[in-house]
Amino acid sequence: MIKYALACEFDHAFEGWFGSSSDYDDQHARGLLECPLCGSKAVRKQVMAPSVAGTKAQRGLDQPSEAAREMMLQAAAEARQAVEDNFDYMGDAFAREARAIHEGKAEERGIYGEATGAEVRALIEDGVQIAPLPPKSKAKDELN
């Protein structure tokens, strides 16, 4: 596994784990990489220092254990489910409705839906409080 430090066009920093450098290149070329904070697909690798192997006690410290990984995935799935159960789904009208709520033209309530990268950027620039929703959990046979 290779860990890359990544950033989007808005300099949101995050990490990505890939099976090989060619996996990163392939996913980048196909537009599959996305900023978890704003949804931007304009993702690039950041300059990183090479990882140097240390003692056995130090190895693996920056990679979560399988139990921790499962716990994080479960928490993300529960957060998504809570939103789906309690918020109004707006579909592709999300950006328009979020702006209307922000401007006081629509009832204050929790909403979720889809937005393009340009819509997300415009909402953020205008001070509309939004956050990405964790992705839907995939079945284990769908994972690589």
Of the listed ranges 29-43, 83-97, 99-113, 125-139, the one predicted with least confidence: 125-139
**DSSP-derived 3-state class of residue 4:** strand
**DSSP-derived 3-state class of residue 11:** coil
Where exactly are the structural domains of the chain? 2-45, 66-130
The 8 Å CB, 24+ separation contacts for 119-128 are 119/94, 119/95, 120/38, 120/39, 120/40, 120/95, 121/10, 121/38, 121/40, 122/95, 123/95, 123/98, 123/99, 124/10, 124/38, 126/99, 126/102, 127/102, 128/98, 128/99, 128/102
Of the listed ranges 3-7, 48-52, 125-129, the one predicted with least confidence: 48-52
- Could you tell me the CA-to-CA distances from 78 to 23, 89, 131 in Å, in that order? 29, 17, 16
Question: Residue 99: what pLDDT?
Answer: 96
* The model scores a pTM over 0.85: no
Question: Residue 37: what pLDDT?
Answer: 86
pLDDT at 93 over 60: yes
pLDDT at 112 over 90: yes
Mean pLDDT value across the chain: 85
- Provide CB contacts within 8 A for 27, sequence distance 6+: 18, 33
Residue 86: pLDDT band with limits 50, 70, 90: very high
Q: Which of 23, 33, 27, 17 is nearest to 69 (CA)?
A: 17
CA contacts within 13 A on the Cβ side of 87: 19
**Which of 3-7, 62-66, 68-72 is most confident?**
3-7
The DSSP symbol for 105 reads S
